[in-house]
Structure 1
Amino acid sequence: MSQSIIAKRYADALFQLGKERSKLDQFETELLTLREVYRDNNKIVSFLKHPRVSVDQKKKVMTDSFQSFSEEIVNTLKLLVERHREDIIADMIQHYIGMMNDAKGIADADVYSVRELSEAEKQRLSETFAPKVGKQSLNLTNIVDSSILGGIRLRVGNRIFDGSVSGKLRRIERELVSTNKR
C-alpha cells in the first residue's frame, strides 16, 4: 500500500476524531505548527528515522517535544513512531489540511504574475475566481514569472485560467497556424 494512502487514512481518522470532539480547528493549528517544525528542523526527521534509537526513546521525545499539543495529536504521533511510519507524518498533515480546506470551502491556488501582487489584488482574485471553482475563497500563492509578459495565470488544482499576455499570444499563433493549413 502506498505511503500516501496510509497517510490519508491517518488524516481521515484524525479528522473524524476532531469532528466528534469538536477539536477540528485545534488539530489544524497544532498540525500546522508540527509542519513548520518538520520543515525547519531536519534533525528531528533524521532522529525519528535513526535505526539505533529505540521506539521508546522516540516516543518520549514526541511526548516531551509536543506536550502543549492535544492528547489526540501526541498519541497519533506516538502511534506512527510505534508502527515505524514516521516518514508519513508530513503527508498526513497535508491530507488533514486539505480536508479542513474542503470543509471550509477553501482551495489552494497559484497565481503567476510579472510582479508581486498586493493583498488587495489577491483578495479581488480570490473573490472573482473562488465561485468559478465552487469554493468560498482561495489561498493564493503569488509566483513572480516575467515570462508571462503581463496579466496573470491562475492555477487551482488542475484548472488553469490564463489571462497572461504570453498565453494570448500563443492562442493567436495557434489560430494563425491553423487557418494557414486550411
Structure 2
Amino acid sequence: MSQSIAAKRYALALFELAQQNGQLTSIQEELQELKKVFQDNKGLGQLLESPKLPLAKKKELLTDLFKGANQLILNTLYVLLDGKRMNEVIHFVDEFNTFANDSAGVAEATVYSTLPLTDEISQSISSAFAQKVGKQSLKIDNIIDPALIGGVRLQIGNQIYDSSVSAKLERLKRDLIGS
C-alpha cells in the first residue's frame, strides 16, 4: 500500500471520473496493464522523469505507447507528467484499486499455499474470510510457497491468518521448549 498523498489524490480524481462515466471496471483493468508496463520497463519511468527530454516529446511518447487506452487514463498520465509525478504511477494505480475495491466491497488478499488453489477453494476462502474483514468478497492472489509444508497462510491488509503446517509445528516447538 502506498503512503503517497499525491498518488492518493490523483487516484481519487480518476476514480470519481470513472464512476461518473460508468467506466470503473474497464479503467481498473487498463490500469493493471499500465502498472505492468511500468514495473517491467523501469527505463520508461526514468525516461519520462528525465529533464533532458522535452515535455512535448514525453507526451508524444505516452500517446504512442498507450494508443487505444482510455482517454481518462491518458489525461491522468499527462497530468502526472505535468506535475513531475511519473514516479507515482505504480502507487497511483494501487490507490485507485483500493478505492475501486472499497466501493465494490472487495478486499485484496494474498493466499500462500503449497499447491495452486482451485476456483472452488478460492471461492470458499473468499466467502469464509471476507466477512471477517467486513467485505463482500476477496480478490485472491495465490502464491506458491513449499516451505509451508501444508495448509495455507492468508494475508488481508495487515491481518494474517496462518493455518500452515509449518506454523503449527513452530507453535508446538515453542510450547515444548518453552521459549
| TM, length-normalised to structure 2 | 0.86
RMSD over aligned CA atoms reads 2.2
Indicate if the aligned counterparts of 1:35 and 1:93 stay in contact, CA closer than 8 A: yes
Q: CA deviation at 1:84?
A: 1.2
Instruction: Give SS of 1:154's match.
Output: strand
| TM, length-normalised to structure 1 | 0.85
Counterpart position of 1:6: 6
Counterpart position of 1:112: 112
Indicate if the aligned counterparts of 1:18 and 1:27 stay in contact, CA closer than 8 A: yes
Q: CA deviation at 1:57?
A: 0.8
Aligned residue identity for 1:134: G
Residues 65-144 of structure 1 aligned to structure 2 (within 5 Å): 65-144=65-144
Counterpart position of 1:46: 46
Counterpart position of 1:23: 23
Query: Which has the greater radius of gyration?
Result: 1
Aligned residue identity for 2:108: D
Structure 1 residues 22 and 116: CA distance shift in structure 2, 3 A: closer
Q: Distance in 1 between matches of 2:143 and 2:26?
A: 30
**Cα deviations by residue, 1:102-140 (Å, 9 ceiling, x for unpaired):** 111221212222223223222222222222222222222
Q: CA deviation at 1:13?
A: 0.9
**Cα deviations by residue, 1:81-120 (Å, 9 ceiling, x for unpaired):** 1121111111101110111111112212122222232232
Gap regions ≥5 residues in structure 2: none
Indicate if the aligned counterparts of 1:106 and 1:137 stay in contact, CA closer than 8 A: yes
Q: CA deviation at 1:55?
A: 0.7
Q: CA deviation at 1:176?
A: 4.2
Q: What percentage of residue pairs aligned between the two structures are identical?
A: 40
Gap regions ≥5 residues in structure 1: none
Aligned residue identity for 1:75: N
Indicate if the aligned counterparts of 1:3 and 1:88 stay in contact, CA closer than 8 A: no
Equivalent residue pairs, number: 178
Q: Distance in 1 between matches of 2:147 and 2:30?
A: 39
User: Which is bigger in relative contact order (C-alpha 8 A, separation at least 6)?
Assistant: 2
Structure 1 residues 156 and 42: CA distance shift in structure 2, 3 A: same
Aligned residue identity for 2:109: A
**Cα deviations by residue, 1:29-61 (Å, 9 ceiling, x for unpaired):** 221221122223334223212221001111122
